[in-house]
Chains A and B, each alone.
Chain A
Amino acid sequence: MARISLKGLRHSYREQPASESDWAVKRLDLEWAEGSANALLGPSGCGKTTLLNIISGLLRPTEGTVWFDDRDVTALPADERNIAQVFQFPVVYDTMSVYDNLAFPLRNRGMPERDVDRRVREIAALLDLDAMLQQRAAGLTADGKQKISLGRGLVRSDVAVIMFDEPLTVIDPHLKWRLRSKLKELHQRLRTTMIYVTHDQTEALTFADQVVVMNDGMVVQAGTPVELFERPHHTFVGHFIGSPGMNVLPATFEGGVPRFAGLPVEVASPPKAPPAGARLEIGVRPEFVRFGADGIPVRVLRVRDSGRYRIVETQHDATTITLLVGEGEALPSETGHLQFDRAHTQLYADGWIAS
């Protein structure tokens, strides 16, 4: 296992990238600690798979370097990097048995058959594949096949990093949680650095200790699930993580305080003065909004019951504000006043957090 660092990385699929939009991955520096469980979260086309392929060595970055510990691996091909990758669609060698599939990477590296056998049985036991070692790999279910492709990475001793590229896409819903908890359990046992790419926030937040959120080729925020939830650095993170997403309200800055519709709003870390000419917004999650005696006057638009709490949509002029109200708590019938939890309310300038 290894610490993975990306330094000054940029990538474009074009020969001559001209404009900013030609870059699939815009300049970024990232570091993943040794033995950590990480997620790379972002919508489709945000550059996360590109980034993954750069780490695995399937792509050579246009600019910048990739480091495994203190070794610059930028120029190394995929098979010399000692990594494992599980793809969106299960890759198994159809004509081989499960055993031969797992043995394949070892045999390719010329390992003596006795050691191959020991390693294969060890990994098969770890992945609960030992009962089907002699079966043809083609006959397995999708989750079994994904385990094989994971196993082909694990058999090699001391894998630097295991990468998952949306590995649950083709898995039946009722098997998803099983494979996911298997992955989590594997991480706890092996303590290998893992990077899990997904567009599904639940998968990312439940799997990873550290989540990197990407949008449009950029890293918008890297942090623990709690940090992403409580203090989104960008309105995109606020929207993308959490369900329902963060309220983003148009704001102004007058008399030294942020205001929404003319009313002062207290934020966690108010700036002295926001950047001139920037588009200002106030962000607050539905979890941190509640009804109160005074505050922002709103009309209640719609109430949806989601079990433990109710999702209440309210409106002030043309701006919709969503909040969560616990089951059994009182709801104003038509109009009411909203209060924001100061510690979880942020001011954003041009999308980025201002402080």
Chain B
Amino acid sequence: MTAKTPNQKAWWLVLPVVVLVAFNAVIPLMTVVNYSVQETFGDNQFFFEGVKWFQETIESERFHDALKRQLFFTGIILLIEIPLGVAIALAMPRRGPWVSVCLVLMAMPLLIPWNVVGAMWNILALPDIGLLGHTLNAMGINYNFTRQPVAAWATLVAMDVWHWTSLVVLLAYAGLSAIPDAYYQAAKIDGASNWAVFRHIQLPKMKRVLTIAVLLRFMDSFMIYTEPFVLTGGGPGNSTTLLSIDLVKIALGRFDLGPAGAMSLIYFLIVLLLSWIFYTVMTKDEATT
């Protein structure tokens, strides 16, 4: 019998991952942590400030407003995109030549660069020359998304629904396709209504993919920046200034690295916390089986 000789060389195999994670996550995050506790007056002079910026951010009305707008935005788009995506997936053909046509059409919005989406909707919604804006005004609806907060919000939500519902559709469709025919046949024999089929077969079978869809849509929408930046730039006034837009205004617009760092960290923790809550609630049942 040969005794095993301890060999620590295997640690080297982990090195590439450690380097990768260090450079793309740990070091940038730590830089932000570093900024968030300091005050800078330019010229690379830094003074330690402790939790001052965190306190200021948490107490600031401006942050509260941006957070409320952000929660409102994410709430609305989740409430629209998830049911709408599931409904579209249910309506899509299950087999035949139209399947690939539908899938390609559905994938299209996802393939367009985000700033292009913003630019497209900006032009589309322009009240004087845009197809949508002009048509609405011609119909007698007073619509100007650069002036009216409600119009700006409606346009923003419509744009996000147009851009991202497809993702929910594709995920839900994948979940639906995985259901064997026998389930539908058994349900038919059992005399189940369409609603019962949806409630007891389709929805439970889609649960896993829908959990992923909700998480992805939550995180993406909570951190959305490019499209509203291009479409409204946060206006009119501050009415569509979501968290990320506000963050960039503070960090780059005013070059307040300390408050921006503190806000980034708080922002990050909120996303983490809410994602965890979503995940825990949605997978609660699975743990018991």
- Complex CA–CA separation, A139 to B286 (angstroms): 11
Contact string, B257-289, partner A, CB cutoff 8 A, digits 1/0?
Answer: 000000000000000000000000000010011
Contact string, B164-196, partner A, CB cutoff 8 A, digits 1/0?
Answer: 000000000000000010110110111111001
Taking a contact as CB atoms closer than 8 A, the residue among A95, A109, A136, A149 that contacts B186 in the complex is: A149
When the two chains form their complex, are residues A85 and B191 in contact, meaning their CB atoms are under 8 A apart? no
- Complex CA–CA separation, A84 to B192 (angstroms): 14
- A56-B289 contact, Cβ under 8 Å, with A91-B182, A93-B200, A108-B196: no
Taking a contact as CB atoms closer than 8 A, the residue among B182, B193, B204, B289 that contacts A139 in the complex is: B289
When the two chains form their complex, are residues A88 and B289 in contact, meaning their CB atoms are under 8 A apart? no
B201 adjacent to chain A (CB < 8 Å):
yes
Residues of B near A139 (CB, < 8 A) are: 289
When the two chains form their complex, are residues B182 and A89 in contact, meaning their CB atoms are under 8 A apart? yes
Residues of B near A94 (CB, < 8 A) are: 204-205
- Complex CA–CA separation, A95 to B288 (angstroms): 12
Residue in B196, B200, B285 whose Cβ sees the most chain A Cβ within 10 Å: B200
Residues of B near A136 (CB, < 8 A) are: 288-289
Contact string, A40-62, partner B, CB cutoff 8 A, digits 1/0?
Answer: 00000000000001001110000
Contact string, B102-141, partner A, CB cutoff 8 A, digits 1/0?
Answer: 0000000000000000000000000000000000000000
* Nearest CB in chain A: distance from B16 CB, A: 41
Taking a contact as CB atoms closer than 8 A, the residue among B186, B196, B204, B289 that contacts A91 in the complex is: B186
When the two chains form their complex, are residues B200 and A89 in contact, meaning their CB atoms are under 8 A apart? no
- Complex CA–CA separation, A95 to B199 (angstroms): 9
- Complex CA–CA separation, A109 to B185 (angstroms): 17
Which residues of A in the span 50-79 have a Cβ within 8 Å of any Cβ on B? 53, 56-58, 77-79
The count of chain B contact residues (Cβ–Cβ below 8 Å) is 19
- A105-B289 contact, Cβ under 8 Å, with A78-B185, A89-B180, A94-B204: no
Taking a contact as CB atoms closer than 8 A, the residue among B189, B192, B193 that contacts A83 in the complex is: B189
- A87-B186 contact, Cβ under 8 Å, with A96-B200, A108-B196, A136-B289: yes
When the two chains form their complex, are residues A109 and B191 in contact, meaning their CB atoms are under 8 A apart? yes
- Complex CA–CA separation, A135 to B80 (angstroms): 35
Residues of B near A83 (CB, < 8 A) are: 189
- Complex CA–CA separation, A105 to B285 (angstroms): 24
Q: Which 9 A-B pairs have the closest CB atoms?
A: A79-B191, A87-B182, A105-B190, A91-B186, A108-B191, A78-B188, A93-B200, A95-B204, A78-B189
* Nearest CB in chain A: distance from B196 CB, A: 7
- Complex CA–CA separation, A154 to B288 (angstroms): 29
Name A residues whose Cβ lies closer than 8 Å to a Cβ of B: 53, 56-58, 77-79, 83-85, 87-89, 91, 93-96, 104-105, 108-109, 136, 138-139, 149, 152-153
Q: List 6 A-B contacts (CB under 8 A).
A: A96-B200, A105-B189, A105-B191, A108-B190, A108-B192, A152-B186
Contact string, B185-227, partner A, CB cutoff 8 A, digits 1/0?
Answer: 1101111110010001100110000000000000000000000
Residues of B near A84 (CB, < 8 A) are: 189
Taking a contact as CB atoms closer than 8 A, the residue among A85, A93, A95, A138 that contacts B189 in the complex is: A85
- Complex CA–CA separation, A94 to B186 (angstroms): 13
Residues of B near A153 (CB, < 8 A) are: 189
* Nearest CB in chain A: distance from B272 CB, A: 30
Taking a contact as CB atoms closer than 8 A, the residue among A87, A93, A105 that contacts B185 in the complex is: A87
Residues of B near A57 (CB, < 8 A) are: 188
When the two chains form their complex, are residues A152 and B182 in contact, meaning their CB atoms are under 8 A apart? no
When the two chains form their complex, are residues B183 and A91 in contact, meaning their CB atoms are under 8 A apart? yes
When the two chains form their complex, are residues B200 and A95 in contact, meaning their CB atoms are under 8 A apart? yes
Residue in A58, A93, A152 whose Cβ sees the most chain B Cβ within 10 Å: A93
Residues of A near B189 (CB, < 8 A) are: 56, 58, 78-79, 83-85, 105, 153
- Complex CA–CA separation, A56 to B189 (angstroms): 8
When the two chains form their complex, are residues A85 and B204 in contact, meaning their CB atoms are under 8 A apart? no
- A104-B185 contact, Cβ under 8 Å, with A95-B200, A95-B204, A136-B289: no
Q: A95-B200, A95-B204 are in contact. List 6 more A-B contacts (CB 8 A).
A: A53-B185, A58-B188, A89-B180, A89-B182, A95-B285, A136-B289
Residues of A near B285 (CB, < 8 A) are: 95
- Complex CA–CA separation, A57 to B183 (angstroms): 15
When the two chains form their complex, are residues B289 and A138 in contact, meaning their CB atoms are under 8 A apart? yes
When the two chains form their complex, are residues B188 and A79 in contact, meaning their CB atoms are under 8 A apart? yes
Residues of A near B182 (CB, < 8 A) are: 87-89, 91
- Complex CA–CA separation, A84 to B186 (angstroms): 9
* Nearest CB in chain B: distance from A342 CB, A: 48
Residue of A with least CB distance to B201: A93
* Nearest CB in chain B: distance from A79 CB, A: 4
- Complex CA–CA separation, A330 to B204 (angstroms): 65
When the two chains form their complex, are residues A152 and B289 in contact, meaning their CB atoms are under 8 A apart? no
Residues of B near A109 (CB, < 8 A) are: 191
* Nearest CB in chain A: distance from B258 CB, A: 50
